[in-house]
Amino acid sequence: MKTTISRQEKGEEEVREDPEMESPYSHTRHVSCDDEGSPRGVLEMTISRADSDQSGSSRSSSPENLSVVPRPSLLRDNLIANAGPQWKSMIDVFRKKSVRKFSTIPFLTMSYDISRKSLKKRIARLRNGVDGALDLSGVSSKPSWRNFDYAELAAATDDFSSENLIGKGGHAEVYRGKLADGHVVAVKRIMKDDKDEEDVDGDFLSELGIVAHINHPNAARLIGFSIDGGLFFVLQFAPHGSLSSLLFGSECMEWSLRFKVALGVAEGLRYLHHDCPRRIIHRDIKASNILLNQNHDAEISDFGLAKWLPEKWPHHVIFPIEGTVGYLAPEYFMHGIVDEKTDVFAFGVLLLELITSRRAVDDSSRQSLVMWAKPLLDENNIKELADPRLGYAHDPNQMNRAMATASLCVNHLASKRPYMNQVVQLLKGEARPADLKQKSPTSRSTLLDACDLEDYTCSNYLDEINRHMQLVME
């Protein structure tokens, strides 16, 4: 069962329950406690959108949809007006310590200003092909996607039979399908539910526009899409499922495969951050969003929360906060700041999961993996940290490199985390942590320096998470 708390306009709380399965192909539009299994329970906190022209809270992949919010006080007032009671204390700290410094720094964020008229025009253009419907600047060649008819997808999935349902998330259902040519695919059907049609269409186009720029072996491959009878993504099927299904299953995942996955995800993130035609921040790196193909190569999936950053922008400031509890970087969870280091923190948590076979948040105790692992990392205590089922069946050099890298990635100060190109070097043994401290580039984000990040520790951040989780569970 899944419990969702949504903030209504009157400030009231509505609790509803739905039986749902999460899929690695499906969107995550909320702050959730990732608790794998199929079916499984998900604890999530969903914060409703503020007015689009004020909050800058939603996703867009086109440069014309980027805007500068000139007055921090306006953003702050809107945030406070729309916040639930469990966020009040965090906002008070934000207002007292940080907003006074933010007043001299321009806010860079994304404005969801796609009008209904322009959305209809884009969708109409999509019916005749991708040209003109998406911003493909920087893409060397037109994406070779198929525009599927609803009848094709219905036939492939036996009319979306429950027997072919392989996952269900907050806003999508995923079905295993077999096309007429025998090609096995994953069909992700976007569910509109009670969400505004404009938001659903905008999110769909945003994700499609971002995926258009991605071409890497460690990123899930999009085969096509459909807007006939609904909104659909058609993806390459991953025969070995998600990393979470293997890592947290009954059988012990061997170390060589774990390290291969870690390197693959690191290479994929390095591409998104540094080598992609657009600088893309995934925002939801977690075990259930890592797929394993026929060769057990890692593929990053689900770009529903992804943001692209213009080269001259140091970061986004985003509200509401969306993602998965346990993987959220402190500066993002507490201040809404998103840049490459947001993904680096999440990758560090993923690396700890690979080392320990523990979840980002423990199922029973709700204890954070970062909180539990940090003292052991500081002591280089492999015996207590590593999955006991591995025994001595691991490469000690790889294990040491993985532990050292994880320790740097989960630092509560973003400026002290490495970039993903440095993470790849660390994992491959081409660099040492001491080298990075000497050569680490100056942080691009002046806003991070103004956040009083030295005023809170990782423990403070985790205490905030635990408190919000308790409020949701009551």
- 394-419 burial by CB neighbour count: b if 16+ within 10 A, else e? beeebbebbbbbbbbbbbbbbeebbb
User: What is the C-alpha separation between 359 and 345, in angstroms, rounded?
Assistant: 15
> Which of 34, 203, 284, 297 is labelled catalytic?
284
DSSP states of 46-94: ------HHHH--S----GGGEEEE--HHHHHHHHHHH--GGGHHHHHHI
DSSP states of 372-407: HHHHHHHTT-HHHHS-GGGTT-S-HHHHHHHHHHHH
Structure-token pair, residue 267: 């290479």
Bridge partners, 186 (sequence order): 176, 235
77 classed as catalytic: no
Would you give the distance in Å from CA 91 to the centre of its chain?
A: 23
Residues in the chain: 474
* Residue found under tokens 């969708």: 123
The residue among 219, 222, 439, 447 whose CA lies nearest residue 332 is: 447
Structure-token pair, residue 397: 């050099």
**Residues labelled as active-site residues:** 284
